[in-house]
Structure 1
């Protein structure tokens, strides 16, 4: 499956394993890269020196390309970028910030840069900033989302119309059918997050993985838009947020309820009641916990089968 994404990253399949907080450590990223896709380390839940450790372990575990996802709203960004350069990382995905801030610095060190956006407007800005590719992420995605609430099915063709650089679709994709649909709409590849949370190699807690597998349609919702919109599984903490909204709370009141370490408490430590459980709407289609290699094989197999079926229909 050769195209602009496989050429850009030197990978077999145009699939990126998303660099999710509390899930995307070196075991997941290296397993993804060893399966022929691009694995990403999730720097958002790592202190700088922890990131350095994961980069080094990932190098030992795979000879294939891998990268680092860096949410620019997190602290110690200067230290993170310095470590990425020092450790010779060749691919960086940036998100939650202005791509102009770090793109030139990274590219001057020979690093391929991809920026994550949720709108046509910011996709254009990313291209103007000189990134090598853009991830356009729809409203269906788990974790922190854009404020536009544009769905993937709508976003991808609109972004494709405006960009000349490679386009990666994200949000609501976990199967070969979803991958094919995104590429028909104009994407050159896909980024998949939630499906890889429910993998054996993900560093997220087993209780969280099981919760993802049990999720049904409607079990996630976008909330906390006054702070940073985030899609969560509904649980006791989510209910507390909804109760607070009945009082027309200030941003400060919401921030106090959120506190610190909510995501770690839920996704990494396994507190299914009090933790923040970030996952996408596609969790309703995830029914088991499997090794990354099997997940990738199933996606590619379904993609090929459905492609043949569509060709016959035409």
Structure 2
């Protein structure tokens, strides 16, 4: 399949493996890229020099394009950007911040820049900042999410209506049928997170992966909107947050209760009770843990089958 996204990234399939914290290390990113998609390293959970190690290992593990996702709300952002440039990474996805901050600097160094948004307003701001493509992420997505609560099915056509640069859909997409639906709505490609969490190569803890596989409809919920809205699996920690809200907590109360390294504790270290377990609503449709290459292959096959079925309507 060839379209604006495959041409932009020089990849075979318009499928991007999301750069998720504590999940997207060099093994997952290289596996996704080797399978014909675009793999992303999740810089949000890496100190600068750890990111450099992952970039170096990824370059050794694949000769295909790969990129780095950079959430701009994390510390050491300047160092991270400098390392990306020094190591010759050619694709950067920015998120959780103003796209004007680094887009010009990255593009001056020959880097293709994509920005993640959750609304039409911010999609247009990103386009004005000069990004090469935009990821529009719906309310269904896991991890840190937009405050607008606009679903993917609604967001994609609204963004498409006003956008000129290529559009990538994200949030609630884990299958070929979901990919086809997003592209019918106007997306040029898809970014997939939760499905790749349940992959052999994801750097997250096996216990967390299994909890994702075991999840059913309604097992995730968006919370902590006063801080940075995050969708997570319901566990002991989540229930403690729900209980805290009954006391009308201040922002400071929520910050204290969240504490430090809660996401690492849950997703990377496997504390399924007290950890923050970030995942999307689509977890209810994920039933196994398998290699990233198989996940990508299955998505492409199902996409082609679904496309033929739709053509017969």
Q: TM-score range by the shorter chain?
A: over 0.9
Equivalences for residues 264-303 of structure 1 within 5 A? 264-303=264-303
**Equivalence for 2:102:** 102
**Equivalence for 2:163:** 163
**Equivalence for 1:187:** 187
Q: CA RMSD in A?
A: 0.2
Deviation readout 1:88-116 (Å, 9 max, x if unpaired): 00000000000000000000000000000
User: TM-score, normalized by length of structure 1?
Assistant: 1.00
CA distance in 2: counterparts of 1:31 and 1:228, whole angstroms:
30
**Equivalence for 1:152:** 152
**Equivalence for 2:218:** 218
Task: List runs of 5+ in structure 1 lacking aligned partners.
Answer: none
Q: Secondary structure at the match of 2:100?
A: helix
CA distance in 1: counterparts of 2:244 and 2:290, whole angstroms:
37
Offset, 1:312: 1.1
Equivalences for residues 1-314 of structure 1 within 5 A? 1-313=1-313
Q: Which runs of 4+ in 1 moved over 3 A?
A: none
CA distance in 1: counterparts of 2:11 and 2:94, whole angstroms:
20
CA distance in 2: counterparts of 1:171 and 1:24, whole angstroms:
17
CA distance in 2: counterparts of 1:106 and 1:295, whole angstroms:
31
Q: Secondary structure at the match of 1:307?
A: helix
CA distance in 1: counterparts of 2:105 and 2:72, whole angstroms:
14
CA distance in 1: counterparts of 2:113 and 2:297, whole angstroms:
27
User: TM-score, normalized by length of structure 2?
Assistant: 1.00
